[in-house]
Structure 1
Amino acid sequence: MLRLNKNSRKNGNIILVIVIAIILIIIFTFAYRAYLGLAGNAYSKCAVFLARGGGGDKGFNDLIASGLYKTEKDMKVELNVNSYQGDDKNIQDASFFLKQKYDLLIGVGFEYEELFSKLSKQFKKTHFIIIDSSVSGKNVASLIFREHEGGFLAGAFAALVAKGKPIGFIGGMMIPPVERFGDGFVEGAKYINPKIKVEIRYVGKDPAAFANKEEAKKLAMQLYKSGVLIIFHAAGAAGLGVIDAAVASKKYVIGVDSDQSHLAPKNVITSVEKRLDVVIYEFLTKAIKDGFKGGKHNFGVKERAIRLSNLDYSKFKFITPEVEGRLDKIQKEIIEEKIGVLKSIKNLYD
């Protein structure tokens, strides 16, 4: 019969205590997460691939940062976010991400479609979120906005205010999200005034266009000088150049992504808010609570993800209660899917 000496029994007891302690820690962790309602995914390291223009763009990228911060604060998690730009050489190297051990990657914009398609197949346990584009895979969530609905509201508003004078649209480059904004803007204006003239311009032909403020300002100045009263821009950070042109020309501009009225209070008459902060926050909180869900997720006026910013009667006398009443009616028609041309635009890009 094998006999254990005192030291062996003592070591065995220590190991047993350690094992029990580890089990208790695991049980407590899961119980605490359940108490907080966190039965889904716990993220600890996140990489965000920013749209061109980087942080401080007063729009797209800043909204994502705001949504991530709110997620950390409200859900009591630390995402440990690192940011990258599209021209960063490291992001083309799969081994770089293997070393970093990210469990969540977020791509802000279409230019990360190819990269995320490749990485999501290599790192199947990592979750990917891509905005304004679509990538297939169970571990990829594609967040798509119905920008044409916001563009339609902006076009209707511009036509109501312009009262027959020409209006304009300046986009960053010809990609589906920007073109949807532009198409919606034209159709919204024609919905109010079929004869209104709408000028369309694009800053460039590659992603760098979204950071080219000088070219955007040049295009806007040309349009204002030609008689255009209001320009709606969907040009990312380059749109700041359009706002500068509005100030210099003493004319009006409709901002995009966030409420940009503070950038030029006398010139920005409204903005088409694309609530990336709300969408990324709500998606991540659901993922943390209930688990990650891949596939396409669509957002528009109905989901409160697209809207016009508040209209200021006191600042702009031409914004009357009648104008707001007309816009409220149009917004209701959008939610109830009563405007046929919006369905046609959606089908065009699906």
Structure 2
Amino acid sequence: MRADFEQAFHLFYNYRFKETESYLQEKISTLENPFPYYAFLSYARIRSQLANAEYDLLLDSADNVIKKYRPLYEARLRNSPNDVDALFYYTVLISGKMRIYLNKMDYFAIIKEAPRILSNKLTIDQQKSGFAADMAFGTGSFDYYLSVVGRNLGLGNLMTLQQSDGLRDLWYAYEHAELTRWEAAIVLMYIYLYDKMEYTQCRDLYVDFLDMYPDNLEVRAIAAECSYYLNDFKEGDKHARHIVRMLDNGILHNDIGWRSRVLYIKGIRAMLKDQHAEALEQFNRVYETNQIEYSWYQTIVLKYTADIYLKMGLVRTAKLYYEETAKNFEFIPHVREAKDILKTLK
């Protein structure tokens, strides 16, 4: 990887977003070929706003950046239609909003935007570009997303591309991509944590990631939860403390979303230790705050609250929470699990 990208990734994946933007702005102003940095700057701003819970600013901000840089890419591609590098970075630019749609589960927007992005991938593949592995991250994520939505709706794999629910492409990106490797790693961690429940595989991924970027809040949160599921509470507590320490030191200018994620982690810990009252309190605070950047955590805490009440023998109360969970259309497997449990409750 080029040294300038290594530095940008070091800042970006360690949640030093202001420094990331400053670094990319400097590159844009001094390099003859700024096209890679337009796209990266757009994505870095989206991630920064998500981390800082600036949810009401996201779409307008992304639209403004795309409006600013899209004409530059399109002019370049008109003059040099075979410039695969420019096409790749242009695709990254317009794909940034997909992260927003994914976080907020805007299904129609995802399906509307995806064909254009996937058609660009085909062009890049046909050119036998070195970016083919990087594009596999997007196709793998989209394929997995459709697969889980299909399963939640009872359609099996009807809506997938029959590629192992996207895992094949995601692993290809993780093993071979230069620019999207770590994005693929994060998606894989969530899959193995919540869908496959293969916690040792999730651990292998987060250990690899944190060796490179130890201050990544998202991966630290995954690591804490995964460790608890592996019954390694000491390890999980270490990751949770790391997050709190970073927040206390002001890594974010608005940490309400990440404080809520910490409450969620505490709830998971209490739930697994059968500390029912503590778990219910933490999950209730998460639900009432509703500030975690991924909207699906609202559904997860409903499902886990139901699980706790069921374990306490409060079947009617549990059933109410399972029913609320089942009403959601999130692409997480918890919805399907709630529906399956409801079938067994009288």
TM-score bracket, shorter-length normalisation: under 0.3
TM-score of the superposed pair, with normalisation by structure 2 = 0.22
TM-score of the superposed pair, with normalisation by structure 1 = 0.21
Bigger RCO of structures 1 and 2 (CA < 8 A, at least 6 apart): 1
